Structure 1
Amino acid sequence: MTRRLTAVALAAGLTVAVTGCTKSVPANDLEKQVKSGLTKSVGQAPDSVDCPKDLKGKVGATARCTLKAEGKTYGLTVTVTSVDGGKVKFDIKVDDSPKS
């Protein structure tokens, strides 16, 4: 899995529906969507994904998260690519190397 994570560094076009006037993706929903998107891209689920903050529903907004796979921890960046009503689309970029 670790090799596949570095080979597939970008999962594009994930969409999350948000409600309310705040237009942000709650951290726990973001974690689920990131894990699901990476699973689809790589073919195997990471052990865990942790996003400590909500993702603002604004184009260009970013969130830093971490994922664990096969005993290694990687950083990743989630970037909002579009917002359409209550739907936020974003891309995921996994860091090339695990954290030290």
Structure 2
Amino acid sequence: MSLFGKRTSFEVPCTVEIEQTSESLHAHVILDGDIEIRPGDEVTVHDAPTAIAFGERIVVRRTATVVRAGLWEGLRARLEGYLELTELYEVSFSNGRVS
């Protein structure tokens, strides 16, 4: 892990899958190798397709750049994620009946 704001980066091959059909609307990026993406890290896929026609599914190979977060950026991302999650605790789920 990089320390005190120093960021490191590396390139890695990846697979991009995009589908826009009546059954599914999704886009996935799978990095080659066993690369763990941690809070605050950034992944940029180079020359990725951005749109496809309805009814299509494409799978392409591309290169991605992974930029590792520094210590402070990683801690900030974890804290922000925790605070955003706690906002969900304020929402209650009920069956709609008032007793």
Measured against the shorter chain, the TM-score band is 0.3 to 0.5
Q: TM-score, normalised by structure 1?
A: 0.36
- The structure that is strand-richer by fraction is 1
